Amino acid sequence: MAKSHKPVVWFPFAAGGTVIAFCIPVIVLLTFLAALGHVPAGLSYEKLHAFAASGIGKLVLFGVIALSAWSSAHRLRCTCYDFGLRADTLVATVLYVAAIVGSIAAALFLLRI
Amino acid sequence: MSRRPLIREVPPTSWYFRQPRYLRYMSREITSIFIGAYCVLLVVGLQRLAAGPAAWEGFLAALKSPASIVFQFLCLVAAVYHAATWFNATQKAMPIQIGEDFVPGNLISGAHYAAWAVLSFGVLFLAGVF
Amino acid sequence: MTPLKERLVQLEVLRYNPDTDTEAHFQRYEVMCQEEWVVLDALNKIKADIDPTLNYRWSCHMAVCGSCGMMINGEPKLSCHAFLRSYEGVIRVEPLAHFPVERDLVTAPDDFMEKLKRVKPYVIPKEKKPISEGEYKQTPAQLMKFRQYSMCINCMLCYAACPQYGLTPHFIGPAALTLAHRYNLDSRDEGRKERQEVVATHEGVWECTFVGACSEVCPAHVDPASALQQMKITSSVDWIVEHLIPGGKS
C-alpha cells in the first residue's frame, strides 16, 4: 500500500487547530462584546479599517480565517464519518472547497480595503 | 471442530453512546461546526468592512440580534473548549526530553495556556477593551 | 488474622458456543467471593464450582501477561486488575469489543497479530555486527526516549477502546503503531523507513482521530495516543521533504 498524501490536508489542519486555539476565543469575545452592546474601540470602522488596510493586518486576518476555516473543514469531515456518513470523498470535497472559497473571498475583500 | 467466530458489528451512527469518553470526544469534534460557522461570519464581516462605514455599522447592528448573541455565545464556548483540548494535547504530540528526563507534560501544556492568556489580554488591550 | 469479608457477587457473562449458537446471550451467575478478589477470581470460582463450560483466557493473574482482557461493565479491563470492590450491583462481563468472539469470553486476536507483524516490531540495525564485536550500546537517555512505549503487554485493550478500529477494521491500530514508534525511537534501529511503508499509509496513523481512549484504558501506561500524534507529525515532515524539497525524494 502506498504512502498516504494525508499530510497535505493534515498539516494545515494542525496549524489551523493551533491558530483556532490561540486566536479564535479572543476574537469571538470581541464580537460577543459588540453583540452585547459594548462595541470595543478596536471594532469601530476607522480602527478596524486601518488595521485591515495595513500589510500586517491583512496577513493576520487572512491567516487566521484561512487556517481556521481549513482546520474546521477537515475536522468536520472526520466528524461526518464518525456520525456514520460514509460518503467521505463527497464530504471532503464539499468541505475543502468551501474552506478554499471562503479563504479566497476573504483575500479579495481584504485587497479591497 | 471448525472455527466459527461471532462478528459483532459496531453501530456506525450511534457508537459514541457506548462510553462517556466517546461523547467527550464527539463534543470536541463538534466544536468544528461552530468554528466553521464563525469563519463564515468573519468573511461576511470583512465584506461589510470593505463596503464602507455604513455597511460596517449595519453589520455591528446585526450582531446584536438575539439569535446572533446566542450563536456567538455557543461559538465562544466551542472555541474555549477547543483551545483547552488542544493545549492539553500538546504535551502528547511534542514531548521534550532533556538529558534522561522528560519535561513534565503539565509544564508544556501550562506554557501554552500562559502564552494564550498573554496573547488574549494583549489583543483585548489593543482593541481598547480595557 | 481477621477473617476475610465475603460478598455475594452477581455476574452477567456473555456466552457464545460456536457449535450450537447463532448469536450470543447473557448468562447470570451468583457466586460467593472474597471482598479483595478481582473479576478473574470470580470467573475462576464460577468455572470451578458452578459451570465448567465457561471459557475465558488468563495466565499470570498479575497484569503482566495481557491475556485476560475483557469488557467489564462496558470498559476494556484486565479482569485480573478489575477489583470487585470497585463495582456495585450486577457486573456485566463481555469479550473484548471489536474482536470476533471465538467462544464465550475468548476472542480471536488474529487481526492484531497480523498487524503487529506488519510494523516489524524488532530492532533493524543498519548492518549486523558479528557477536565478536560486542553488544549494541545505548545510553540511559537513549533508553528513556522509548522506554514508555516498550511497556506494551499486547493485551489489546486499546483496540477494544478505539472506536476508529471498531468502525474501520483495516486500521493498523494503537498498540501495533505504538510499537513501530518504539523501535523508530530506538538509537540502535535503522528500520524507520521500512516501517513507514505501513505507518504512513491510509491504514496507518491517518485513521487515528486522536480520541485518546487507547491511552485511558492502557494498563501499562504506554499512552499510544501520544505515539500516534508524534508519528503524524514526523510522517507529515517526511511528506514535505519528499514532495516539496528538491532532491528530498528518499
The 10s digit of each residue's pLDDT in A35-93 is 999 999 999 999 999 999 999 999 999 999 999 999 999 999 999 999 999 999 999 99
Evaluate if residue B56 carries a pLDDT over 80: yes
Q: Indicate the residue type of C26.
A: F
Whether residue C16 is found in the same domain as residue C75: yes
Whether residue C199 is predicted with pLDDT greater than 60 in this model: the reply is yes
Where are the domains positioned within chain A? Answer: 7-112
Same domain (yes/no): C71, C24: yes
Looking at the domain assignment, is residue B23 inside a domain?
yes
Taking CB atoms and an 8 Å cutoff, what residues of chain B touch A21?
82-83, 86-87, 112, 116
CA distance B61 to chain C (A): 39
Per-residue pLDDT band for C45 (boundaries 50, 70, 90) equals very high
- Specify whether the CB–CB gap between C165 and C127 falls below 8 A: no
Handedness of CA A56, A62, A64, A70 (dihedral sign): negative
pLDDT above 70 (res C60) = yes
DSSP A56-88: HHHHHHHHHHHHHHHHHHHHHHHHHHHTT---H
- What dotted CATH number matches A7-112? 1.20.1300.10
Residue B74 in domain: yes
Mean pLDDT lowest for which of B69-73, C124-128, C180-184?
Answer: C124-128
Number of folded domains in chain C?
Answer: 2
Same domain for C20 and C116, yes or no, is no
Residues C239 and C151 in one domain: yes
Chain B CB contacts of A33 under 8 Å are 129
Query: C79 with C127, same domain?
Result: no
CATH number at residue C215: 1.10.1060.10
Comparing CB atoms, the residue among C100, C166, C210 nearest residue B5 is C100
- The continuous run of DSSP H or E covering C93 comes out as strand C91-95
Task: Decide if B6 is inside a domain.
Answer: no
**Going by DSSP bridges, is the β-strand pair C101-103/B101-102 parallel, antiparallel, or unpaired?**
unpaired
Asked if the Cβ–Cβ distance from B3 to C140 is below 8 Å, we say: no
Shortest CA distance from B58: residue in chain A: A45
3-state helix/strand/coil string of C30-87: EEEEECCCEHHHHHHHHHHHHCCCCCCCCCCCCCCCCCCEEEECCEEEEHHHCEHHHC
Q: How far is CA B121 from the centre of its chain?
A: 18
pLDDT: which is higher, B83 or B2 = B83
| pLDDT grade for B69, boundaries at 50, 70 and 90 | very high
List, for residues B92-116, the tens digit of each pLDDT value. 999 999 999 999 999 999 999 999 9
- Of C52, C72, C107, which closes a domain? C107
CATH of the domain at B25: 1.20.1300.10
Q: Which three cell numbers stand for residue C212?
A: 485518546
Find out whether C29 and C15 touch, Cβ atoms under 8 Å.
Answer: no
Across the interface, do B43 and A105 touch by the CB < 8 Å criterion? yes
- Is B116 close to A36, i.e. CB distance below 8 A? no
- Contact between C200 and A5 using a beta-carbon 8 Å cutoff: no
* A38 → chain B, closest CA residue: B129
Q: Are C71 and C96 in contact (CB under 8 A)?
A: yes
As a whole number, mean pLDDT of residues C200-229 equals 97
Q: What is the number of CB-based contacts under 8 A between chain B and chain C?
A: 78
- pLDDT at position C162 is 98
Say whether both C98 and C139 belong to one domain.
Answer: no
Task: Give the end-to-end CA distance of chain A in Å, rounded to a whole number.
Answer: 49
C-alpha cell read off for C199: 505507518
pLDDT higher than 90, residue C160: yes
Say what the pLDDT of residue C127 is: 84
Which of C66, C83, C107 terminates a domain? The answer is C107
Given C167, C200, C240, which is nearest A4 (Cβ)? C200
Residue C240 has pLDDT above 60, yes or no: yes
pLDDT band with cut points at 50, 70 and 90 for residue C157: very high
Instruction: Note whether C132 and C229 are same-domain residues.
Output: yes
Q: Rounded to an integer, what is the distance from CA C64 to the centroid of its chain?
A: 12
Q: What is the pLDDT of residues B4-13, one digit of tens each?
A: 999 999 999 9
Return the pLDDT at C126.
86
The single-letter DSSP state of residue B6 is B
User: Among C167, C187, C171, which residue's Cα sits nearest to residue C224?
Assistant: C171
pLDDT at residue B1 tops 70? no
Q: Do C240 and A8 lie within an 8 Å CB cutoff?
A: no
Q: Cβ–Cβ of C163/A4 closer than 8 Å?
A: no
Task: For residues C31 and C120, state if they share a domain.
Answer: no
Give a yes or no: residue B2 inside a domain: no
How close B98 comes to chain A (CA, Å)?
A: 24
Specify the amino acid at residue C202. H
Question: What confidence score (pLDDT) does residue C246 get?
Answer: 85
H-only helix segments in chain B: 20-50, 53-63, 66-93, 105-126
Does B10 map to a domain?
no
Of C92, C107, C122, which residue sits at a domain end?
C107
Domain that holds residue B28: 15-126
- Among C13, C17, C12, residue whose Cα is nearest residue C101: C17
- Burial code of C213-240, b = ≥16 C-beta within 10 A, e = fewer? bbbbbbbbebbbbbbbbbbbbbbbebbe
How sure is the predictor about C245, in pLDDT bands with cuts at 50, 70 and 90?
A: confident
Same domain for C64 and C152, yes or no, is no
Pair (C39, C91) in one structural domain: yes
Position A1 pLDDT exceeds 80: no
Domain residue limits at C213: 110-244
Q: What is the ipTM of this complex?
A: 0.96
C250 in any annotated domain: no
Whether the CB of C171 is below 8 Å from some CB of chain A: the reply is no
| C25 touches C15 (CB < 8 A) | yes
Q: Do B49 and A76 touch (CB under 8 A)?
A: no
